[in-house]
Amino acid sequence: MARGKFFQSVSRYFDRAAAQSAVTAGMLRQVKTCNAVYRMRFPVREDNGHITVVEAFRAEHSFHRLPTKGGIRFSRRVSLDETIALAALMSYKCAIVGVPFGGAKGGIVLDPSKLSSGFRERVTRRYTAELIRKNFIGPDIDVPAPDYGTGEREMGWIADTYKNLRMNEPHPYACVTGKPLGMQGIPGRKQATGLGVYYGIRTFMEQADDMKAVGLTPGIAGKRVIVQGLGNVGYHAAHYLQCDGKAVIAGIIEREGALYAPDGMDVESVNRHRLDTGSLEGFPGAEYIKEGHSVLEKDCDVLLPAALEEQITAENAGRIQARIVAEAANGPVGFDGEAILSQRGICTLPDLYLNAGGVTVSYFEWLKNRAGVSFDRMFSRHEELTKISLVETIESMTGRSVSPPVRRQLVHGVSEEDMVVAALEQTMIQSFHQIRERWKSRKLHDLRTAAFLLSIERIAESYEQHGIFP
């Protein structure tokens, strides 16, 4: 991918939606502009004692709401333009799902597959110290999260570094989300983005007229899905599509190659095989294809790119055979590529909506850290006692007893994870229908234009209501 191509696609998507908006030109420029960027280079000692200079970035796109919020990725592909584009998407994403954050993003130019644990930790802690030095991190300023190449381990290092360098901070663990549970993380965060992808696809596929337009019957069951990327997002999205939605996982694409099985394969078994062997190759019951990128063009109902940006471009969009492209990754479909998909009647579920489950649950974690108490602790037992009383009343009125297994299921008090999952599901369903309403009522080009328009109008409204302009 040429550097800046992704940034250009995001800008063009914005401009297309902005043309449908009544927002003034000056306000549109403010909504689009990246407010602050920190480019840094710092030395880190390698395991052999040598010093290497690491390049990294943090972009804070919009201050219409604070703190800003966005992930940190480790990748050789990280660039300034990419970081700004991802930060912009975070602003629009947060506005769509109604979480009170501005958008931000961070990136470190390193290959995560080639880092030792010790070197990775030293880089993460030094990066955190650099952010602190320039006031680019804090519970009320800018709150990072995991992204490509990072996870709860790195978020734990960030929280620990921040806590020790900001000793008077009243809520230090609220400086970052996606942390381990033992460091005030929240249950459900790990699978949140993938589960949100599932809820988004399910909600779209329940719309009979939209499914008819792409030549499919309503519902996920029996639909053939190809997944690109078996990382955290792709794995969990595929898992829920298969286990809850009863979809057929026909293809799985990874860096080293791909598997293709038109009649389907078990996601759990594939994941175990890859963890055990380090590769998809050799998995029984599926064809292994060394040139994995070609599997994007195989016949399926839903193509789910969950890896990196610019995977579907003008070069290959004409060969895509899916009826729905569900953007689990950020920016996997380029602007020119989407135009071709649209001309061919292929519907794209846009990233700024579909993968917003991660920031939604990150919001819950941030709230929990600020409050200092888990969501279920105050009323879980009260709810359980209320349910017990209700069951006993029904038993006395009917003269029939409920069996112990059924009783346990009925009176179970809500857990924190139950609450998180339910709130995530509600958010994804509600947000989709808000996007769809604009799509239909304003006769817009597609769902992406509707999603961008919704976010632009909400951010502009927030700027106006807060009266922040001098």
Cis bond upstream, residue 470 (ω within 30):
no
Does residue 223 carry a catalytic annotation? no
Strand, coil or helix: 283: coil
In Å, how far from its chain's centre is CA 65?
19
DSSP label at residue 376: T
C-alpha 225/C-alpha 205 separation (Å) is 13
Distances (CA, A) of 76 to 55, 149, 226, 268, 274: 10, 10, 26, 29, 23
Break the chain down into helix, strand, coil percent, rounded to 5: 50, 15, 35
C-alpha 457/C-alpha 18 separation (Å) is 9
DSSP label at residue 295: G
> Please, is 320 exposed, middle or buried when counting C-beta atoms within 10 Å of its C-beta (0-12, 13-18, 19+)?
buried
8 Å CB contact between 256 and 300: no
> Please, is 309 exposed, middle or buried when counting C-beta atoms within 10 Å of its C-beta (0-12, 13-18, 19+)?
buried
Which listed residue (5, 69, 105, 190) is catalytic?
Answer: 105
Q: Which residues are catalytic?
A: 105
